[in-house]
Structure 1
Amino acid sequence: EDGRYLVITVSKGTDDRYRILVRDLEEPYAMPVELIDNFDAEYSLVGNDGPVLYFTNDLGAPRRRLIAIDLRRPGQEHWKTIIPECEKTLLGVGLVGNLFVAEYLDDVKTRVKIFTTDGQFIREVDLPGIGSASGFGGRRADTETFYTFSSFTVPPTIYRYDMITGRSTLFRRSEVKFNTDDYTVEQVFYTSKDGTRVPMFLAHRKGIKLDGTNPTLLYGYGGFSASMTPDFRITPLLWMEMGGVYAVANLRGGGEYGEEWHQAGTKLQKQNVFDDFIAAAEWLIDNKYTSPSKLAIQGGSNGGLLVGAVMLQRPELFAACLPAVGVMDMLRFHKFTAGRYWVDDYGSSDDPEEFKALLAYSPYHNIKPGTRYPATLATTADTDDRVVPGHTFKFMAALQAAHAADDVPVLVRIETRAGHGAGTPTSKLIETVADLYAFLFKSLGMKHDD
């Protein structure tokens, strides 16, 4: 913020592992100097006090901590821990009003704590409920900051936070035509195949009957350290208005519980992700939220791989599957466009041991002829340069050839002049959602009075 130092962050692959270079801008002929010369851990700059730089870091602290590195004594033995690692996952830290604002995930729900610059805890920010908060930006001299709070049934709402008094006041609320009081959000925990405790969010209308008849859409991702936090989106709300239960499982491979949780769903451990998702489906059925004839699953990109893998491993568990822009050929994904960067999470078929693990679950290679698979509507785009549409084309052609039920549709929807999803015009998004939900409406036997 003082403009003295240029900090250069160098990344490699998709993991949060960085090299750091620093240049002193007060020295006209100075060259960037390596502060961190390896890709062993994450170092995300928070701010500085003169030559002392603050970073969030996961070296020896998989749920992250805040450290201080003095450029005058940059050796690791001189690093100082300001906010130590704790049981909660540290998402990020801001430096506002000469205070650190630390954002944590506590069982996938946001918690925010305020610390002094020497790491003394001051207070916790009171948030409106179960949901996700972000923001808390500003400058060292500011006495206020702003943050956004949202949840599955709470549209994004901006609050002003007084750094001195610790009081939040409403600044602006998004206007959405629905009654939040008609819906409820709860978090449950279930046990995966290997005994791991996994969280899941459920959102639905209040007062539903737990009789196994509720149309349910289970969503998952489980990769690249991405945390599936409770946030507001119109499409799940529409599903709930149609009478459905919306479920989000927080699978291993994500970042909900830090780097160890992430690594437990990568490479040779990738099957853990699929086991977690299958266990979520079984929990919903066992607890009478739904039944196999009323259960659909959805995921995109890495989540498309998730849907493709579990629908082949447990086809009897689902009535409908919506894999979007999925990575379906796990033996050759690294040979196309950005796929070479994903080996951090998936491994590579060039490695003999990883080849066996990839082949065991690769959707394209595990389709079995003569099997009755769930109704499937895969989506892709003709100019997706991240996950090339060939993944979906090959998978769906093989699935259609092997599928043993003429009365169960297995279809692909190909969007034209579109990519992986970002930047898609609103009109095309509406058309896609309309097709997906019409497909679910038919496949799950929903009625208009649902």
Structure 2
Amino acid sequence: MNYPDTKRDDSIDEQFGERVADPYRWLENDVRADPEVAQWVAAENAVTDAYLATLTGRDIFAARLTKLLDYERFGVPVKKGGRYFYLRNSGLQNQALLFVRESLDAPGRVLIDPNSWSADGATALGEWVPSEDGNRILYTVQDGGTDWRTVKTMDVATGTVADDHVAWVKFSNLAWAKDSSGFYYSRFAQPAEGAEFQALNENQQVFFHRLGTTQSADTLVYATPDRPRLGHSAQVTEDGQWLVITTHEGTDNRYEITILDLTQAGAEPRTIVKGLENEWSLAGSVGPLFYWTTNKDAPRSRIVSMDVREAEPAISELVPQGEAVLEGAAILGGKLIASWLVDVKSELRRYDLDGTPDGLVALPGIGSVAGVSGTAADPELFYAFTSFATPTTVYRYDVATGAATAWAAPDVAFDPGLYEVSQRFYASKDGTRVPMFIVRRKDLPPGPAPTLLYAYGGFNISVTPAYSGARIAWLEQGGVLAIANIRGGGEYGKAWHDGGRLANKQNGFDDFIAAAEDLIAEGVTTKDRLAIQGGSNGGLLVGAVVNQRPDLFAAALPQVGVMDMLRFDRFTAGRYWVDDYGHPSKEADFRVLYAYSPYHNIRGGRDYPAIMIGTADTDDRVVPGHSFKYAAALQAANIGPKPHLIRIETRAGHGSGKPTDKIIAEAADNWAFAAAWTGMTVKPAG
């Protein structure tokens, strides 16, 4: 490959007796502000585009993906004031539209169409919240994939957008006051010019914005200037009496809880849970009696209650910890509806408010539940169900009768009956039993097949069964999909998370390598037919295991990955991640990080698999400099003749808000690249 000639400099850091070279540090500069970085990006994309143009499967995948994604998709509706608000994409629209219905069976009416906001479709509708009376909608605008949001409001009846304009909002919940007079939100200070996409996010504050006023007049509700690393998120209880502020420091679910009585003029915020030690997620409230899911004294979580009128509220257990992992709960229709994860599969259980079990919510199969929506008083609730071969379907559930009906069922251009999903357990390096899903066509001939192995393994995030039209395109061509639920995720609670982070991070890499070895030993695939993929923390995973076992894989797709483990905490949200990765400034953590950092552990003299890195110029979550530096180091190393490319998307970020046309193009490129190096013969559909 004729890669661009990337400049090297003499940047070296002395850390704990180690001289750490960083010759591509200049590639950390913002591509929008540094012409030299922009020129490098253009040169790299030119090489990648030229190579991808030679792959015969690229156009075939793109055509099939266009058909597979061309189906009507609905989000879970939210009911307020008798109105139903929901997202809908007719098929190939770049962005989903926000609709409203005046009643359950009334025709939908378009409220917000973000496709009209930009010529390239890369400006998206972010978060949205209807007011309690259903007369207004609070929504955010996300431009080019950035995490920054601009908040606006609209009159539901007329579609008129108010002059209210709130900027520099990021990682924020949005909560209406009960009387719809305004809303609570969290924001950071406006960054310096030119630093919008790289500056550290600190000193997040909670404000109240009264409708009809300017942002400069917003009331500061809660802040911790003496502890700038804390973040704060506010919500209003359903009865409108209490403002509940959840405080965190990093990505761990370790919170402090502060409440404010909104019915008492001049009331001051009062912290009722201190110490940043445990997870506390509000399930609902009945007056001053609050219901929580928490992992305090319960690594797999439990449901408790507390009377917040007490100075130091006592905890009463309602639903004890079980063998399954409690993912969340809410008071809906007068019952506690709790979502549990049982060997990485969803189960919805009902309880009376005193914790007495009240049966199950029957689900249509083995899969995942998401987006449960409803209120404490209304027996009508909605949820989404999905699985690997089951497109996301939205169900309406009557809590009083237990009856569930499909509210929005998609019509997709494929036959789910042609596919089989199995779950197996394999032994990792230290003997730990790790689950893995395997998806394939039922008529696939026996013998090794091109296989795509995916995992995440971090931040207590569980990878559960979910439909992906993009992955169906891979499966249709005779490929196998494997999803390994490695340590570092939340599939088995706190112990599973702790087992794959900080000093234990290598366990997750070992789990992933063992998954690959298991697939080979079981005859599912071979080393020459195995591709691996992961994004964000999963991109780090792919980069690390390729360095450790380059002989084990034919192709690798690390996407928006954290690749420099010694400088990740210096940019945007990276400083939060020390909960999972550790502090590069502490020697013990430095030793662990330096030992697996993808950028620092590329070793010449060995043949690496074919690699195509993915990132985007507006990614202000994992800044693209991670991938830029990693790509430059790969291309400079003596690691064999296979291509080591980087695909850099423009006007896109970490993933959210990405338009449909970019999703199709990216998936087509990824699958064509993986197919070329795993021996897949790509044929036109039909």
Q: TM-score, normalised by structure 1?
A: 0.97
Q: Does the residue aligned with 1:37 lie in a helix, a strand or coil?
A: strand
The equivalent residue for 2:633 is 398
Q: Which of 421, 429, 434 is residue 193 of structure 1 equivalent to?
A: 429
Contact 1:384 1:418 in 2 (8 A): yes
Q: Which of 234, 243, 263 is residue 469 of structure 2 equivalent to?
A: 234
**Structure 2 residue 517 is matched with structure 1 residue 288:** no
The equivalent residue for 1:178 is 414
**Which has the larger displacement, 343-352 or 132-141?**
132-141
Q: Which of 299, 304, 310 is residue 62 of structure 1 equivalent to?
A: 299
1-side partners of 2:659 and 2:381: how far apart? 32
Larger Rg computed on CA atoms: 2
| RMSD between superposed Cα atoms in Å | 1.4
**Structure 2 residue 261 is matched with structure 1 residue 30:** no
Contact 1:371 1:402 in 2 (8 A): no
Structure 2 residue runs of 5 or longer lacking an equivalent are 1-237
1-side partners of 2:479 and 2:674: how far apart? 11
Q: Which of 263, 268, 272 is residue 503 of structure 2 equivalent to?
A: 268
Q: Which of 460, 480, 483 is residue 225 of structure 1 equivalent to?
A: 460
The equivalent residue for 2:383 is 147
Structure 1 residue runs of 5 or longer lacking an equivalent are none
2-side partners of 1:320 and 1:15: how far apart? 32
1-side partners of 2:334 and 2:618: how far apart? 47
Q: Does the residue aligned with 2:370 lie in a helix, a strand or coil?
A: strand
Give the C-alpha shift of residue 210 in structure 1.
3.8
The equivalent residue for 2:282 is 45
1-side partners of 2:576 and 2:377: how far apart? 40
Contact 2:386 2:466 in 1 (8 A): yes
Q: How many residues are matched?
A: 447
Higher relative contact order (Cα pairs below 8 Å, separated by 6+ residues): 2
Q: Which of 579, 599, 620 is residue 344 of structure 1 equivalent to?
A: 579
Write the deviation string for residues 315-343 of structure 1: whole angstroms up to 9, x where unpaired.
11100000011111111111222211110
Give the C-alpha shift of residue 74 in structure 1.
5.0
The equivalent residue for 1:2 is 239
2-side partners of 1:173 and 1:225: how far apart? 30
2-side partners of 1:90 and 1:61: how far apart? 10
**Which has the larger displacement, 386-395 or 311-320?**
386-395
Q: Which of 115, 135, 157 is residue 393 of structure 2 equivalent to?
A: 157
Write the deviation string for residues 139-162 of structure 1: whole angstroms up to 9, x where unpaired.
222222221111011001112222
Give the C-alpha shift of residue 95 in structure 1.
0.7
The equivalent residue for 1:307 is 542
Contact 1:65 1:84 in 2 (8 A): yes
The equivalent residue for 1:441 is 675
The percent of aligned pairs where both chains have the same amino acid is: 53
The equivalent residue for 1:99 is 335
Give the C-alpha shift of residue 164 in structure 1.
2.2
- The aligned amino acid for 2:263 is E
The equivalent residue for 2:75 is none
The equivalent residue for 2:104 is none
**Which has the larger displacement, 66-75 or 305-314?**
66-75
**Structure 2 residue 668 is matched with structure 1 residue 431:** no
Give the C-alpha shift of residue 44 in structure 1.
0.9
The equivalent residue for 1:371 is 606
**Structure 2 residue 349 is matched with structure 1 residue 116:** no
The equivalent residue for 2:5 is none
The equivalent residue for 1:411 is 645
Q: Which of 614, 618, 621 is residue 383 of structure 1 equivalent to?
A: 618
2-side partners of 1:431 and 1:163: how far apart? 42
Give the C-alpha shift of residue 418 in structure 1.
2.1
Contact 1:369 1:401 in 2 (8 A): no
2-side partners of 1:54 and 1:357: how far apart? 39
Give the C-alpha shift of residue 387 in structure 1.
1.3
Contact 1:101 1:136 in 2 (8 A): no
Contact 2:258 2:273 in 1 (8 A): yes
2-side partners of 1:72 and 1:358: how far apart? 45
Give the C-alpha shift of residue 136 in structure 1.
3.3
Q: Does the residue aligned with 2:245 lie in a helix, a strand or coil?
A: strand
Contact 1:95 1:137 in 2 (8 A): no
2-side partners of 1:404 and 1:36: how far apart? 53
**Structure 2 residue 509 is matched with structure 1 residue 257:** no
Distance 1:392 1:167, change over 3 A: same
Distance 1:310 1:138, change over 3 A: same
Give the C-alpha shift of residue 296 in structure 1.
0.2
**Structure 2 residue 354 is matched with structure 1 residue 83:** no
Q: Does the residue aligned with 1:34 lie in a helix, a strand or coil?
A: strand
1-side partners of 2:410 and 2:359: how far apart? 28
Q: Does the residue aligned with 2:585 lie in a helix, a strand or coil?
A: coil
